[in-house]
Amino acid sequence: MSELLRIEHLSKSFGRKQVLKDLSLSVESGRVYGLLGRNGEGKTTLARILMGVIPADGGVITFKGRRIGFGQSAYKREFGYVPEDPFFYEDMTIRGLVNFNARFYPRWDRKRIAADLERFGLDPKSRFGTLSRGQKLKLGLAVALAAAPEFLILDDPTSGLDVPTRQDFLRDVIRELAASGTTVLFATHLVHELERIVERLLVLHGGRLIVDEDFDKVKARHQASLEDIFVRLTAEA
C-alpha cells in the first residue's frame, strides 16, 4: 500500500499546555485509522491542524508528497472533514449550503448528494438551524462525501447521538468505504464505534501516539475488547 499522508515531529501548544509533542505518523491509502484518546488529549487539535484551520508550532505534514498545512488550501479539495458539530449558517437552506460548497470542489458530485439527501430524509428547503443534531451530522457527511475525498477525517462525529443514529452513520461510512476505498481517520472517544471498522489503531495520550499498530495484532495480544485495551494502555502510560 502506498503512503498517502505523512506527519513528522508535529508539535502544538496552547499557552503553557503542550497538546501534541513530537507526533509522527504515516497513513497508507485505503485503510481506516482509529484515533482514540480521552477528551482533551489533542484529537481535535490534530484534525484541525490537518485541515489547515490552525497552525502547528513545529513539524512537517506531507500529503501525496506535497507539503500541506496552515495557509494552504489546494489540498483541501481532496480532504473531507466531518467535525463534531458541523457548522453552517443557521439561516441557510440545505440547498443553499450545498450549492455554496459545490463551488469549491472540482469533483463535486451533484447526483450523489441529491441521492444522499433523499436517503437521509433531508429536505433541501429546510434551514440548517432547524435540523436536529443527527440530521446536521448526516448533512455534514453528505457534503463531505459529495466532494469525493481521498482522505476523510471524522472528528468525534457521533458523540451525543443515540445508538440507532450512530449505527446509521457508521453504515453510511461503510458504504463509502466499500464503494470508494476512501482512507479514513476516525477520531473518537467512543470505542464501540471504532471496534467494528478500525484497521489501524492509534492511541493519543500525553501528546504522543502511544499506539500505532494493526488492530488485529493489538487485539490478539491483549485478548480483550477495545474498551478494556484502551483503559489498560492509557492507565499504563
Partner 1 sequence: MIRVDATSYVPIYEQIKRGIVRLVATRRLKVGEPLPSIRDLAAEIIVNPNTVARAYRELEQDGVVSTQKGRGSFIAERARPDAERELRGHLGRAMDETIAEARKFDLDDGAILEIFETRLRRAGGRKKGGRNE
Among residues 13, 161, 222, 233, the one that binds partner 1 under rule CB under 8 A = 222
- Give the DSSP letter of residue 127: B
Decide if 152 contacts 144 (C-beta within 8 A): yes
The helix (run of H) or strand (run of E) holding residue 233 is helix 226-236
Beta bridge partners of 68: 61
**Which residue lies nearer to partner 1 by CB, 91 or 216?**
216
Measured CA to CA, the distance from residue 137 to residue 161 in angstroms comes to 10
Q: How far is the CB of 6 from partner 1 (least distance, A)?
A: 22
Among residues 52, 192, 213, 233, the one that binds partner 1 under rule CB under 8 A = 192
User: Which residue type sits at 40?
Assistant: G
Q: How far is the CB of 138 from partner 1 (least distance, A)?
A: 15
**Which of these ranges, 37-45, 98-106, 126-134, 213-221, lies near partner 1 under the rule CB under 8 A?**
213-221
Any contact of residue 237 with partner 1 (CB under 8 A)?
no
**Which residue lies nearer to partner 1 by CB, 88 or 151?**
151
Any contact of residue 7 with partner 1 (CB under 8 A)?
no
**Which of these ranges, 18-26, 66-74, 117-125, 225-233, lies near partner 1 under the rule CB under 8 A?**
225-233
Q: Left (φ > 0), alpha (ψ -120 to 50) or beta: where does 15 sit?
A: left
Any contact of residue 232 with partner 1 (CB under 8 A)?
no
**Full DSSP string of 1-64:** --EEEEEEEEEEEETTEEEEEEEEEEEETT-EEEEE--TTSSHHHHHHHHTTSS--SEEEEEET
All three cell numbers of 213: 499498530
Measured CA to CA, the distance from residue 184 to residue 99 in angstroms comes to 25
Among residues 195, 208, 210, 213, the one that binds partner 1 under rule CB under 8 A = 195
Among residues 17, 119, 196, 232, the one that binds partner 1 under rule CB under 8 A = 196
Among residues 39, 103, 223, 235, the one that binds partner 1 under rule CB under 8 A = 223
Query: What is the contact surface with partner 1 in residues (CB under 8 A)?
Result: 31-32, 167, 170-171, 174-175, 177-179, 192, 195-199, 216, 219-220, 222-227
